[in-house]
Amino acid sequence: MQTWELVLACASMAQVPQVVFVPAFTSGDYRKHREMLIRQFALDETLTRFEPLVFPDCDRVKIRHLRDETIVSAAELLLPVSLRPGGNMQRLLQTCLDGNKRIVDSFQTEYQERESPLAYAWENRQLNPDIVTTGEPYLIHWTRTSNTAWPDETLLDYYRAVINSDTYPRTAFATLTNIITKGRITASSSHMPLNTPTVSLSGLSPHEVIPLMRWRARYRQMSFEPYGIGIRKEYALAVGIRAVQYYDRSAPRPAGLPAWLTQSKGDITDWRAEQEYRHHGDIDLRGIPRTQLLAVTLTAAEAEKLQKKTGFRAVSFLP
- 156-213 residue pLDDT tens: 999 999 999 999 999 999 999 999 999 999 998 887 888 899 999 999 999 889 888 8
Question: Tens of pLDDT along 152-167?
Answer: 899 999 999 999 999 9
190 & 311 share domain? yes
Same domain, 78 and 190: no
Q: 246 and 174: one domain?
A: yes
The number of folded domains in the chain is 2
Considering the domain architecture, whether residues 155 and 94 belong to the same structural domain is answered as: no
> Does the residue 250 lie in any domain?
yes
| Residue-number span of the structural domain to which 91 is assigned | 3-103
Q: What is the pTM of this model?
A: 0.85
- Do 42 and 186 belong together in one domain? no
Residues 174 and 265 in one domain: yes
The band of 267, judged by pLDDT with boundaries at 50, 70 and 90, is low
Least confident of 44-53, 88-97, 103-112: 88-97
Q: Does residue 281 share a domain with residue 158?
A: yes
Give the lowest-confidence range in 64-78, 198-212, 239-253, 297-311. 239-253
Q: Which of 80-84, 188-192, 282-286 is the least confident region? A: 188-192
Residue 97 domain-assigned?
A: yes
Residue 123 forms part of a structural domain? no
Please tell me whether residues 153 and 224 are part of one structural domain: yes
Q: Which of 140, 240, 144, 260 is nearest to 195 (CA)?
A: 260
**What's the mean per-residue pLDDT of the chain?**
90
**158 and 94 assigned to the same domain:** no
Q: What b/e string do you get for 290-307 counting C-beta neighbours within 10 Å, with b at 16 or more?
A: eebbbbbbbebebbeebe
